[in-house]
């Protein structure tokens, strides 16, 4: 719809030109011979017109490059030789030849010819009105300048109108940009036409004197063209570079870079291959249909074919897998980024064979852009890296804050009980029944102990996490240790479910008794809390080069995927039950860290008899008999002292301890 409407409006413009031109020409009385001069003259001027139209000159004016033609010179010169109709005919024929030579589309051709017809008719009307006698008179100059000015003005207005219709450019803007160069050109052309005419009056060969000047002008025009094309290329390179400077994801970056490379070289397709963080290469092809991944073989071929330098490949040189991607009979420019500078990008642009306006220097532009692309890709990688690190840091900070909040809560709760009990005893004094007072004292003591244990646990965890805790490696009797533990549980909490089993071949064991007890106590307490029913078994067995302690309960057990998580600090699988049980959430984390500190390990698994329940397995090295003595005595106190949680410069390392 839009296209046909545009066409219609252009055709209306064409008609306007034809009507104006015809009306003006009709005013001239058609004499006996409208073409008073010979057809040869007509042909000569038509050829001249076509020639100047085909050699456009380029000039720079106010930092704009303008393309101009000096057709006015031919119009002016021919006006002295031919009747008005002849002048217009020569111009129209010349324009037609030029258009055909430039292979313009029918609509463009129609417009150009009509516009020439109209403009030439206006110009010759003005020329005739001034009515010069001969080329050397003053009136001749006035007539020539007026005619040239009219021709140029009509042309400019026509072109501005048609651009407004076809490209939607603002009419005033086109006129504003072109009016100065048009005016200068018109006057210069008229002068040139008259000068040629005057010289030709004297001698037919005289105009040849101007040949060197013309040659100079043409050469200069060529230089201006090249320079402006080069500037344009660099401007586009710069723009493409600044657009790609802030890419943040590799996949996105590769696609954007390929798109930019394609636009930069106005290719049909473009490929961007880049090396990822892991050293693997991947590529993307971009064309009119969008972007898609390039298969690995083609990526390899592209890297192999480019080597370390930019290459231009003819269709025969394109490797097979790459051929499958490219349009048939294309030419491919391949540019790798500087290998000494990371060399992690290869760009390729595919253009149709012998494409129009095949410019030189495209390979250099692509090569330069490859450098930018490599920078963009490493920026994207760096960005991703920083983002990951930052996210990790934020996670760590959050965990730390959560840890502090949890510790604060865990410390405050028993402290509230202790202080509340003591304050009550003092506040109520004699009003308090002796039994109640006794109960409060008991509570204060037990909560105080809980607080103390929590603090010790915290310090031990901190020390064990940093492997700075000291520990003994003494021969101990596991049987006695376990029996003591059993008695302690029975006495303290009336817990009757604990059963201790020691395999008969278990003998002496070299480890830190205090810490072993701490771990086993925690594991048994854990079982008491989370397995409210059924027996709890604590078993000790001998292993090759160590011993194994298992704590087995008959509770609900722990799902396989959660088993590692229970050892993280302050992780409670069931928040509400932990609250109910009053756990610190530190127990199992502490147990594992201490087990590792002692050179052993702690895992949890399902019961080996397949029944529901959890089984914690503590494995410790340092079998029997030969105690592994520390290389030197502990520096502070012979007993492990978790209160010295600060790093010791000369900490002891037991066999197997990390």
Q: How far is the CB of 266 from other proteins (least distance, A)?
A: 58
Q: How far is the CB of 560 from other proteins (least distance, A)?
A: 26
Please count the other Cβ atoms lying within 10 Å of the Cβ belonging to residue 230.
15
Residue 338 burial (CB < 10 Å; 0-12/13-18/19+)?
middle
* Helical (H) or strand (E) element with 372: helix 362-428
Q: How far is the CB of 364 from other proteins (least distance, A)?
A: 60
Of 182, 183, 24, residue with least CA distance to 88: 24
In the complex with other proteins, the residue whose CB is nearer, 225 or 446, is: 446
In the complex with other proteins, the residue whose CB is nearer, 435 or 609, is: 435
Q: How far is the CB of 534 from other proteins (least distance, A)?
A: 22
In the complex with other proteins, the residue whose CB is nearer, 424 or 644, is: 424
Q: How far is the CB of 447 from other proteins (least distance, A)?
A: 6
| Sign of the CA dihedral with 499 first, then 503, 508, and 509 last | negative
In the complex with other proteins, the residue whose CB is nearer, 345 or 440, is: 440
Q: How far is the CB of 525 from other proteins (least distance, A)?
A: 18
The DSSP call for residue 37 is S
- Non-local (6+) Cβ contacts of 185 within 8 A are 68, 69, 70, 72, 152
Q: How far is the CB of 406 from other proteins (least distance, A)?
A: 10
Full DSSP string of 580-599: HHT--S-HHHHHHHHHHHTT
Contact between 537 and 519 under an 8 Å Cβ cutoff? The reply is: no
Contact between 519 and 560 under an 8 Å Cβ cutoff? The reply is: no
Q: How far is the CB of 415 from other proteins (least distance, A)?
A: 5
In the complex with other proteins, the residue whose CB is nearer, 118 or 414, is: 414
Contacts 24+ apart (CB under 8 A), 170-175: none
In the complex with other proteins, the residue whose CB is nearer, 424 or 601, is: 424
Helix then strand then coil, in percent of the chain rounded to 5, is 60, 15, 25
**Distance of alpha carbon 653 from alpha carbon 658, whole angstroms:** 7
Q: How far is the CB of 454 from other proteins (least distance, A)?
A: 13
Residues that bind other proteins (CB under 8 A): 405, 408-410, 412-413, 415-421, 423-424, 427-428, 431-432, 436, 439-440, 443, 447, 576-577, 579-580, 582
**Distance of alpha carbon 576 from alpha carbon 558, whole angstroms:** 16
**Distance of alpha carbon 362 from alpha carbon 230, whole angstroms:** 10
Q: How far is the CB of 570 from other proteins (least distance, A)?
A: 13
In the complex with other proteins, the residue whose CB is nearer, 283 or 583, is: 583
Question: CA dihedral in degrees (638, 642, 645, 648; nearest 10)?
Answer: 20
In the complex with other proteins, the residue whose CB is nearer, 198 or 413, is: 413
Q: How far is the CB of 412 from other proteins (least distance, A)?
A: 4
Contact between 567 and 626 under an 8 Å Cβ cutoff? The reply is: no
In the complex with other proteins, the residue whose CB is nearer, 227 or 445, is: 445
Q: How far is the CB of 654 from other proteins (least distance, A)?
A: 38
In the complex with other proteins, the residue whose CB is nearer, 182 or 572, is: 572
* Helical (H) or strand (E) element with 575: helix 575-581
In the complex with other proteins, the residue whose CB is nearer, 220 or 442, is: 442
In the complex with other proteins, the residue whose CB is nearer, 180 or 401, is: 401
Buried b / exposed e across 198-213, counting CB within 10 Å, b at 16+?
Answer: ebbeeeeeebeeeeee
Strands 546-552 and 536-543: what pairing? antiparallel
In the complex with other proteins, the residue whose CB is nearer, 410 or 513, is: 410
Q: How far is the CB of 434 from other proteins (least distance, A)?
A: 13
Contact between 515 and 488 under an 8 Å Cβ cutoff? The reply is: no
Contact between 171 and 164 under an 8 Å Cβ cutoff? The reply is: yes
Q: How far is the CB of 308 from other proteins (least distance, A)?
A: 58
Q: How far is CA 562 from CA 442, 557, 575, 605, 614, in A?
A: 37, 10, 14, 10, 12
Contacts 24+ apart (CB under 8 A), 138-146: 140/80, 140/194, 141/194, 143/79, 144/76, 144/79, 144/190, 144/191, 144/193, 144/194, 145/187, 145/190
Q: Please name every residue paired with 552 in a beta bridge, in sequence order, or none if there are none.
A: 537, 615
Phi-psi region of 585 (alpha: psi -120 to 50; beta: other; left: phi over 0): left
In the complex with other proteins, the residue whose CB is nearer, 340 or 576, is: 576
Q: How far is CA 333 from CA 137, 272, 307, 406, 547, in A?
A: 61, 12, 13, 62, 70
């Amino acid at each position: 719809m839009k296209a046909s409407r545009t066409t219609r409006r252009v055709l209306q413009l064409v008609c306007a030109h034809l009507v104006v031109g015809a009306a003006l020409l009709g005013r001239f009385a058609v004499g006996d011979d409208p073409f008073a001069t010979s057809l040869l003259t007509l042909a000569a001027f038509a050829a001249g017109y076509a020639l100047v139209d085909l050699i456009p000159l380029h000039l720079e004016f106010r930092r704009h490059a303008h393309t101009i033609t000096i057709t006015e010179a031919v119009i002016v010169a021919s006006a002295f030789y031919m009747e008005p109709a002849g002048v217009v005919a020569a111009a129209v024929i010349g324009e037609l030849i030029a258009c055909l030579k430039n292979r313009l589309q029918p609509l463009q051709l129609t417009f150009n010819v009509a516009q020439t017809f109209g403009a030439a008719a206006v110009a010759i009307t003005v020329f005739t009105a001034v009515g010069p006698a001969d080329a050397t008179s003053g009136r001749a100059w006035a007539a020539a300048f007026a005619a040239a000015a009219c021709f140029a003005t009509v042309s400019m207005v026509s072109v501005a109108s048609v651009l407004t219709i076809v490209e939607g450019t603002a009419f005033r803007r086109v006129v504003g940009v072109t009016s100065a160069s048009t005016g200068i050109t018109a006057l210069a052309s008229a002068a040139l036409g008259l000068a040629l005419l005057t010289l030709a009056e004297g001698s037919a060969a005289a105009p040849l004197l101007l040949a060197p000047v013309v040659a100079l002008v043409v050469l200069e025009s060529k230089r201006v063209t090249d320079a402006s094309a080069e500037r344009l290329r660099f401007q586009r390179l710069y723009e493409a570079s600044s657009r790609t400077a802030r890419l943040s994801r590799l996949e996105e970056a590769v696609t954007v870079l390929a798109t930019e490379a394609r636009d930069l070289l106005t290719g049909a397709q473009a490929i961007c291959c880049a090396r990822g963080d892991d050293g693997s290469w991947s590529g993307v092809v971009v064309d009119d249909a969008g972007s898609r991944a390039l298969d690995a073989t083609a990526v390899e071929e592209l890297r192999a074919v480019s080597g370390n330098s930019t290459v231009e490949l003819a269709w025969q040189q394109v490797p097979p897998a790459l051929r499958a991607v490219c349009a048939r009979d294309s030419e491919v420019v391949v540019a790798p980024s500087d290998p000494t500078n990371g060399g992690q990008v290869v760009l390729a642009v595919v253009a149709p064979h012998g494409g129009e306006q095949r410019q030189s220097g495209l390979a250099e532009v692509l090569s330069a852009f490859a450098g930018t692309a490599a920078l963009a890709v490493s920026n994207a990688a760096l960005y991703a890296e920083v983002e990951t690190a930052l996210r990790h840091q934020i996670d760590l900070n959050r965990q730390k804050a959560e840890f502090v909040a949890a510790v604060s809560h865990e410390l405050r709760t028993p402290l509230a009980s202790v202080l509340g009990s003591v304050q009550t005893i003092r506040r109520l004094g004699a009003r308090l029944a002796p039994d109640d007072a006794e109960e409060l004292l008991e509570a204060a003591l037990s909560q105080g102990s809980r607080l103390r244990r929590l603090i010790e646990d915290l310090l031990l965890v901190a020390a064990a996490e940093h492997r700075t805790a000291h520990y003994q490696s003494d021969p101990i009797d596991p049987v006695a240790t376990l029996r003591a533990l059993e008695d302690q549980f029975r006495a303290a909490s009336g817990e009757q479910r604990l059963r201790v089993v020691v395999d008969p071949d278990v003998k002496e064991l070299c480890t830190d008794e205090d810490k072993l007890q701490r771990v086993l106590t925690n594991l048994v307490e854990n079982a008491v809390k989370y397995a409210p029913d059924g027996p709890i078994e604590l078993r000790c067995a001998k292993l090759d080069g160590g011993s194994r302690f298992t704590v087995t309960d008959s509770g609900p057990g722990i799902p396989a995927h959660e088993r590692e998580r229970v050892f993280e600090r302050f992780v409670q699988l069931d928040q509400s039950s932990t609250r109910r049980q009053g756990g610190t959430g530190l127990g199992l984390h502490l147990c594992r860290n201490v087990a590792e500190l002692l050179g052993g390990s702690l895992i949890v698994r399902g019961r080996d008899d397949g029944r529901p329940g959890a089984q914690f397995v503590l494995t410790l090295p340092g079998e029997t008999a030969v105690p592994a003595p520390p290389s030197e005595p502990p520096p502070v106190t012979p007993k492990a002292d978790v209160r010295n949680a600060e790093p010791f410069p000369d900490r002891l390392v037991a066999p197997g301890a990390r």
